[in-house]
Chains A and B, each alone.
Chain A
C-alpha cells in the first residue's frame, strides 16, 4: 500500500483508508521496533500513554508566568527529552470586544457595558507529560523540587 509512506492526496483514495487499515498498521508498528512510528504506536496499542506531570496553576503563574516551561526544561534535563512531552495553548483572539448600540442609539464598547464580558478570562493551557515507566519517580521529584524550579527559573537574555 503506497500510503504506508505518505497519505494520498486524492479524495477518493484518501476515503478508502478506514479505521481497519489504520489499526493494522498501528499493530505492525507497535510490534516491530524497526518500523517508523514504533514508539507512539506501541504507546497507543499497549495503553502506555504519557501521564500528566504538571498543569498550569494560577498560583505558580503569579510567581513565574513561564512556570510550565521551567518545569519542562528541568524535567527534560533530569529524565531525558524522550520521556517528557509538552503541550501548550493560548487563546488567539478574544470575542468579547465589540461595539454595542444602546437603545438610545449611542455606541459603546462591549467590555465597558458588561461586567461579565470584562471578567471573561483568556484561555491559557500548559501541560507537561511524562512517560508512564518513570511516572512515579517524576511525580516524587516534582513534589520535592517544584517551588525551587519555578522560583529559580531565569530565562537567559539573548
Chain B
C-alpha cells in the first residue's frame, strides 16, 4: 500500500473516531489502528509490539509525525489539561480525493473499530488492546488464563478489569468475523 493510501485510511479513522467522541490522542489512534489491522485485516504494514501501554507501533508514530509535516494531519490542544489531539490538516482533501476506492473499501472496517473504541479512555484502551494481543499470542488459553496473562504483563491493571476486557474482546472478535481476509 502506498504511503498516501495509508494516510487516507488514517485520516478516515481519525474522523470516524471523532464522530464517536474519541479524544484522538496518539494512544487512541495507536490502539484503533492495532484493532483495524489485527482484527479487521486492513493491510497496514505497521508492526506492533507490546509496549508500556499495550500494543504500540513505532512505525505508526513516525508516520503520524510525517503526516503532520505534509499538513495532512495537525495537532491541536483543545483542553490544556490533556495531551494534544490529532485532527485532519489542510491537505486532508487532497489525500481523500485521490484514494476514494481505498476509503470506501475499508469504511466498514473503520466504522466498526471506531464504534467499539471511540468512547473508551486510554486506560480502557490499554486493557482492551492488551487483551486482544494476549488472545492472538495464546489463542488456546481460556478466559481466566488470558486474564492472568494480562496481569502478568500489566500488573497495574485490576484483575476484574482484565476479566471484563477479555469478555469484551471475545465479543468484538465474534462481531468482527464479517471482515474476512
Is B178 part of the contact surface with A, judged by Cβ < 8 Å? no
Asked whether B5 lies within 8 Å of A158 as measured between CB atoms, the reply is yes
Interface stretch of the complex, out of A10-18, A71-79, A108-116: A108-116
Inter-chain residue pair count (beta carbon < 8 A): 80
Residues of B within 8 Å of A, CB-based: how many?
A: 31
**Contact residue among A61, A66, A91, A158 (Cβ-Cβ distance under 8 Å from B65):** A91
Digit string of B1-19 for contact with A (CB within 8 Å is 1, else 0)?
Answer: 1111100000000000000
Is A118 part of the contact surface with B, judged by Cβ < 8 Å? yes
Known: A111-B75, A112-B84. A155 touches B61 (CB 8 A): no
Interface size bracket, A side: 20 to 34
Quick one: closest B residue to A64, CB to CB?
B94
B62 surroundings in chain A (CB, below 8 A) = 90, 92-93
In the bound assembly, the distance between CA atoms of A108 and B65 in angstroms comes to 21
Asked whether B77 lies within 8 Å of A124 as measured between CB atoms, the reply is no
B90 surroundings in chain A (CB, below 8 A) = 62
Asked whether A154 lies within 8 Å of B77 as measured between CB atoms, the reply is no
**Contact residue among B1, B68, B102 (Cβ-Cβ distance under 8 Å from A122):** B68
In the bound assembly, the distance between CA atoms of A99 and B83 in angstroms comes to 8
Digit string of A79-104 for contact with B (CB within 8 Å is 1, else 0)?
Answer: 00000000000111110010100000
**Contact residue among A66, A113, A121 (Cβ-Cβ distance under 8 Å from B4):** A66
**Residue positions of B touching A, CB distance < 8 A:** 1-5, 61-62, 65-66, 68-72, 75, 77, 79-84, 90-91, 94-95, 98-102
**Residue positions of A touching B, CB distance < 8 A:** 61-62, 64-66, 90-94, 97, 99, 106-109, 111-113, 118, 121-124, 154-158
